[in-house]
Amino acid sequence: MENVFVITPIFNEKENIPRLIKSFQDITEKFESKFNFIIVDDGSTDGTIEEIECLKGNLNILVLDYGCNKGPGYAFATGFEYLKDKITPNDIVVTMEGDNTSRIETLHLMIERLKREKVDCVLASPYAYGGGITNTGFLRTFLSHAANTFIKEMLGIRGIHTMSSFFRVYDARLIMKLQEVYQPRILMMNGFESMIELLKKIILLESSISEMSMKLDTSLRAGKSKMKVMKTIFGYFSLYFKQKDWKSKYEFYNSNK
């Protein structure tokens, strides 16, 4: 039986924790795999950690807490680093949001596709055929579409609909290879742009990527998004200047194998 490691960053998500824990319970009941839930707290001050400890019951949940707010990229990097000596080639790694916008029913399909098609990574995409975004303001939806289009051109990414979604399923061998090339934390960007950094690095490794359509319903989230629009836009621009370094590291890795 394979292990599935689920990395979920959180920041002041106390209101969302009961539904998140319930979704974790649903996952363990619907799958035969052994699930390991790694919640990375990014400096919550609203009692989020206490709420997790109160509700987790018998779930296999580990909370990693570094005591300050550094951004979702730093949180994901902390989760990846934790997995360094714990995953095996037969395992699966999942990254997902902590605000309940990751749909659990989609996760089942993503894991099945990863296994069936033997791809390295499956992305949940509201932009793929059959997906969609509901209960989201026009401005944020417009910015999301515009950012997706701009990033594809800026980073030369083709054939992929969604760039920045947290909700992904990875073959553990891909994570292990990324750690060999880019160090155990894999990511260097601390903000929301880190997911695009990770996608670009996966592409540089010439790994196989598939997309699963998903209905994104932001009404499932209690409270507001933690994304700061202007800060994230500046982060997107910075990716352009980093990609040459990422390519060089992969080329150096290949030349020394």
pLDDT, tens digit only, all 257 positions of the chain: 689 999 999 999 999 999 999 999 988 888 878 999 999 999 999 999 999 999 999 999 999 999 999 999 999 999 999 999 999 999 999 999 987 666 778 898 999 999 999 999 999 988 776 666 665 655 556 556 666 777 788 888 888 888 888 999 999 999 999 999 999 999 999 998 999 999 999 999 999 999 998 876 665 555 555 556 667 777 778 888 899 999 999 999 999 87
Half-sphere exposure of 184 (CA within 13 A, CB side): 9
* pTM for this predicted structure: 0.89
Beta bridge partner(s), residue 19: none
If you write DSSP's letter for every residue of 55-95 in order, what string do you get? H-TTS-EEEEE-SS---HHHHHHHHHHHHTTT--TT-EEEE
Per-residue pLDDT, 155:
84
Per-residue pLDDT, 137:
59
Per-residue pLDDT, 60:
96
- Nearest Cα neighbor of 225 from 192, 188, 189 is 192
Q: Can you tell me the distance from the alpha carbon of 59 to that of 81, in angstroms, rounded to the nearest whole number?
A: 22
- What angle (nearest 5°) sits at the alpha carbon of residue 11, between those of residues 5 and 13? 90
Per-residue pLDDT, 162:
84
DSSP strand pairing (61-65 vs 3-10) = unpaired
Tokens of 207: 């790994």
By the 8 A CB rule, do 160 and 128 touch? no
